[in-house]
Amino acid sequence: MQIKDIKQIGVVGSGAMGSQIAMVCALGGYSVILHDVSEESLTKAKESLRGHMNRKISKGRLTEEEVNNAFGRLIFSSSLEELNHTNLVIEAIVERLDAKRELFAKLDKIVPEHAILATNSSTIVSSKIADVTSRPEKVCNVHFFNPALVMELVEVVRGPHTSKETAQLAVEFVRNIGKTPVLLKKEISGFIANRILGKLMDEAVYLLENGYADHEEIDLVCTKALNHPIGPFSLMDLTGIDVNYFVRMQRYQESGNEADKPAQIVQDKVHKGELGRKTGKGFYTYNQAKVQV
């Protein structure tokens, strides 16, 4: 398969990441099917994307024609079977290995034999998923950053099972949708950005839990002294505290090391349903009417 053969993209999972990845692909000129088992989630995704696109139009970043054309290329579907003509599928569902393996096994039976199956996960490397398919050489990680409509970089990871052709096609595809790809030549959980960011977040949570400073003050230090665009606690609220929780639980299950478990404060937030912006409360409290997910 060559890059010109990739014409229709499937994106599975219509949360903030999945829906924005789908729109990025549609804006890049591709026909896209955004799938979710929940019709309600698909409706919310459509409304959220309309809001994002209207703001881009009002700021002059996109024209109304460009946006309408992109929506014309984007199909919202609750039927996984509708992905049967896709050439590349990007999975963006919950960060749980069992769920991803179950999905990839289903996709393998639905999509054409030549199609690439990619996971957006930055924690679960594709070698943990590829064996449930009949095409491990066509399975890889294609990791977008949140928010996908804004963030420029995409990490492409070639696992030990991934063919050179698949990795190169993924890199070319990323360029075609206007993003900047970085190719990791071998797997490592967390890849590059999140491994570095994870160390920062771990230290921020340690300082908070041990009473050295409040979360607002730690965020302020990161933005004003380190010149970061957003502090670690604001970032966790943006991406979802449950994502941090699942990432750490996955790492703990792999290592058995108690130090890899989610911090207690993160566990408490998740158990209380305080997941950040999407629930209206995390480390900060948000006005739901103003929250743009």
Q: Which residues are catalytic?
A: 122, 143, 155, 194
| b/e per residue 193-228 (b: at least 16 CB within 10 A) | ebeebbeebeebbebbeeeeeebeebbebbeeeeeb
DSSP codes joined into one string, 220-277: HHHHHTS--SS-HHHHHHHH-HHHHHHHHHHHHHHH--GGGSPPHHHHHHHHTT--BG
Rounded Cα distance between 65 and 167, Å, is: 33
Q: Where are the beta strands (DSSP E) in 26-176?
A: 31-35, 74-77, 88-91, 116-119, 139-144, 153-157
- Is residue 34 within 8 Å of 24, Cβ to Cβ? no
Rounded Cα distance between 173 and 5, Å, is: 11
Residue 123's region, left for phi above 0, alpha for psi from -120 to 50, else beta, is: alpha
